[in-house]
Amino acid sequence: MAVSASPGQVSPTSWRARAWRLESRPRAARRPRYRPEAATLVALADKDAVLVGQADLLRSMVEGAAGDAILANKREIETGIAAISATLRDRQSFLL
């Protein structure tokens, strides 16, 4: 005789049946879903490393510099900001 559960409860036989079905699946079917994402994460980490390098270079150009020196390097600073923007767009398009 099956044990019936009240509404909102899971009967003991149903959770046992689900556990048995999960255990009886082939090993390949039980692999976690996140394993294929490792390559994506490695690529994103590489892109992030490029961003860190670009930001550090830009920071070194302006940190501790006087206003006149920053204005004198305006073209290089704008080029650095454009490079960071392009890298961010590349990173975003990689995820699409």
Q: State the residue range of the domain holding 58.
A: 36-95
In a domain, 2, yes or no: no
In a domain, 28, yes or no: no
In a domain, 71, yes or no: yes
pTM of the model: 0.59
Q: What are 48-61's pLDDT values in tens digits?
A: 999 999 999 999 99
In a domain, 10, yes or no: no
In a domain, 27, yes or no: no
Q: What are 5-55's pLDDT values in tens digits?
A: 555 565 656 666 666 666 666 665 556 665 568 888 899 999 999 999 999
In a domain, 13, yes or no: no
DSSP notation for 1-38: -PPPPPTTS--HHHHHHHHHHHHHS-GGGGS-TTGGGH
Domain count, the chain: 1
DSSP notation for 31-60: S-TTGGGHHHHHHHHHHHHHHHHHHHHHHH
In a domain, 11, yes or no: no
User: Tokens in use for 4?
Assistant: 């019936």
In a domain, 3, yes or no: no
